[in-house]
C-alpha cells in the first residue's frame, strides 16, 4: 500500500514504443549524450517453452539482469502484470498471454553530441553516423540511437535504415523516408548491385599489393564474436559458417599503422574486422580481435576508449573529456524510482565506459543511379 501511494505521488506516466523521443529527453555531460531515465512498459508474449512456469520463475530464468527478490516485489506491486491485471507470485503462465513489465529505464550514454546530415532528399536522408551510437533500437538502447536522435532533433520520421553499421563503427549511413524507397535500396543490395567502401587503420605495414580474402565467417551470438575459416576444398563436410569475401587495398602507411581501403563483397557480422585479423593486420584499436603480437609486431597502444577521447571531431567543444562516473545528484536530472535496480546511478549496470570508437569508418556506397560519400575522420591521417 505504501509503495502504491509513493507511485501515485510520483504521477508515473508509462511510455511505450509508440511514444517518440523528444529533444528534452537528452542532456550532455562530460562529452557524452545521456538520456534521462524514463518509465517504460516492456511487452512480451508467453512462448511455448515458457508455459507452465510461475510468473516469477519465468522472469528469473529468462531475464537474468535482475535478482529473484526484485521479480517477487515487481509481481506483488503490479510492476509485472498478465493481460493487464495483477497476479499472485504463484501464477502459472499460459502460451501467448501478454505480459507487461513496467520499469524505470536507464540507457547507456553515447560518446557524441551531433549526427551530421550529409544530404537530404525527398525520400532519403544520408548522415555521418558517429561511433558508439547504435543505428536503431536494440538491447539497452531506444532513444540513444541514430533513428531516435534524428527524430527528436530534426523531426525526421519515419526512417528506414537500408544498411547497418555496428555501434562502434562510424561513417556513412543511408536512411529511406518510406518503406517503398527502403525496399528499392534493399533489392539493389540483395541483387549485388551495391558497392561498399570502408577505411580502417590497422596494425603494422599492410602489404602494398591488393589482398583478396575469401574466408567463411562464423558468428557466435553468445560471445558477440566472429571467426574466419578457409574451407577445405577436399572435404565439403568441413565447410562452416557463411561465405565471405573482402578486398583490401593499402592507402598509406607509417610503418607502425596502415590506412586500408576495405571493400566487402558480402555482408557478414564483423566481416571486415575478422578478415583483417585473419590476414594478420587487425584494426589497431580493436580490443575484440587484436592480439598482443601479430606477425611478430607489438600492437600495444591506444585502446578504443582513449581514441574516442582524443578524436576531436567526435566531441562538441565546451565539454570535459573526462569519462563520466555515471553517479549524479538524483535531483538534478531525474527522479529516483524506489524499485529501480539501477538508481541512483545514471548509467545502467554493466555499461563499459572504456568501449568507445573503432578505427573503422564507412566512406562510400554506390549503385547504378546513385552514389553517397562521407568525409574521412581525423584518425585516417597517419602523420
Catalogue the active-site residues.
166
Nearest to 345 by CA among 145, 106, 110, 144: 106
DSSP letter at 232? -
Bridge partners, 264 (sequence order): 246
Burial class (CB within 10 angstroms; exposed 0-12, middle 13-18, buried 19+) of 43: exposed
Q: Are 259 and 271 in contact (CB under 8 A)?
A: no
* Residue 113 three-state SS: coil
Bridge partners, 253 (sequence order): 258
DSSP letter at 335? P
Q: CA-to-CA distance for 381 and 258, rounded, in angstroms?
A: 10
Q: Are 112 and 312 in contact (CB under 8 A)?
A: no
Q: CA-to-CA distance for 350 and 344, rounded, in angstroms?
A: 15
Per the structure block, which three cell numbers stand in for 208? 602494398
Give the Cβ contact number of residue 364 at 10 Å. 17
Give the Cβ contact number of residue 26 at 10 Å. 21
SS (H, E, C) 139-168: CCECCCCHHHHHHHHHCCCCCEECCCCCCC
* Residue 80 three-state SS: strand
Buried b / exposed e along 57-82 (16+ C-beta atoms within 10 A)? bbbbeeeeebeeebbbbbbebebbbb
Question: Residue 327 half-sphere exposure, CB side, CA atoms within 13 Å?
Answer: 1
Give the Cβ contact number of residue 144 at 10 Å. 23
Amino acid at each position: 500500500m505504501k509503495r502504491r501511494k509513493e507511485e501515485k505521488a510520483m504521477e508515473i506516466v508509462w511510455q511505450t514504443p509508440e511514444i517518440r523521443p523528444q529533444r528534452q529527453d537528452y542532456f550532455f555531460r562530460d562529452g557524452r549524450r545521456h538520456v534521462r531515465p524514463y518509465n517504460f512498459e516492456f511487452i512480451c508474449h508467453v512462448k511455448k517453452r515458457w508455459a507452465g512456469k510461475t510468473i516469477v520463475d519465468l522472469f528469473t530464468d529468462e531475464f537474468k539482469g535482475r535478482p529473484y527478490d526484485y521479480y517477487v516485489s515487481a509481481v506483488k506491486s503490479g510492476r509485472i502484470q498478465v493481460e493487464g491485471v495483477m497476479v499472485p507470485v504463484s501464477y502459472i503462465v499460459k502460451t501467448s498471454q501478454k505480459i507487461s513489465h513496467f520499469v524505470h529505464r536507464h540507457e547507456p550514454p553515447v560518446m557524441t553530441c551531433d549526427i551530421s546530415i550529409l544530404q537530404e532528399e525527398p525520400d532519403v536522408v544520408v548522415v555521418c553516423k558517429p561511433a558508439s551510437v547504435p543505428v536503431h533500437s536494440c538491447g539497452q538502447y531506444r532513444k540513444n540511437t541514430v533513428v531516435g536522435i534524428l527524430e527528436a532533433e530534426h523531426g525526421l520520421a519515419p526512417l528506414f535504415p537500408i544498411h547497418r553499421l555496428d555501434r562502434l563503427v562510424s561513417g556513412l549511413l543511408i536512411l529511406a523516408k518510406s518503406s517503398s524507397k527502403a525496399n528499392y535500396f534493399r533489392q539493389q543490395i540483395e541483387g549485388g548491385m551495391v558497392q561498399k567502401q570502408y577505411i580502417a587503420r590497422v596494425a603494422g605495414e599492410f602489404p602494398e599489393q591488393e589482398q583478396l580474402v575469401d574466408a567463411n565467417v562464423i558468428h557466435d551470438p553468445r560471445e558477440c564474436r566472429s571467426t574466419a575459416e578457409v574451407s577445405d576444398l577436399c572435404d565439403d563436410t568441413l565447410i562452416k559458417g557463411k561465405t565471405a569475401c573482402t578486398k583490401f587495398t593499402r592507402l598509406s602507411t607509417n610503418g607502425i599503422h596502415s590506412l586500408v581501403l576495405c571493400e566487402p563483397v558480402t555482408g557478414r557480422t564483423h566481416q571486415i574486422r575478422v578478415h583483417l585479423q585473419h590476414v594478420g593486420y587487425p584494426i589497431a584499436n580493436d580490443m575484440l580481435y587484436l592480439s598482443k603480437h601479430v606477425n611478430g609486431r607489438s600492437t600495444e597502444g591506444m585502446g578504443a576508449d582513449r581514441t574516442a577521447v582524443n578524436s576531436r571531431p567526435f566531441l562538441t567543444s565546451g565539454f570535459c573529456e573526462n569519462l563520466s562516473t555515471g553517479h549524479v545528484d538524483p535531483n538534478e536530472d531525474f527522479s529516483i524510482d524506489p524499485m529501480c535496480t539501477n538508481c541512483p546511478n545514471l548509467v545502467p549496470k554493466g555499461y563499459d565506459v572504456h568501449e568507445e570508437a573503432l578505427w573503422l569508418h564507412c566512406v562510400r556506397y554506390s549503385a547504378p543511379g546513385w552514389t553517397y560519400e562521407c568525409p574521412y575522420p581525423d584518425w585516417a591521417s597517419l602523420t
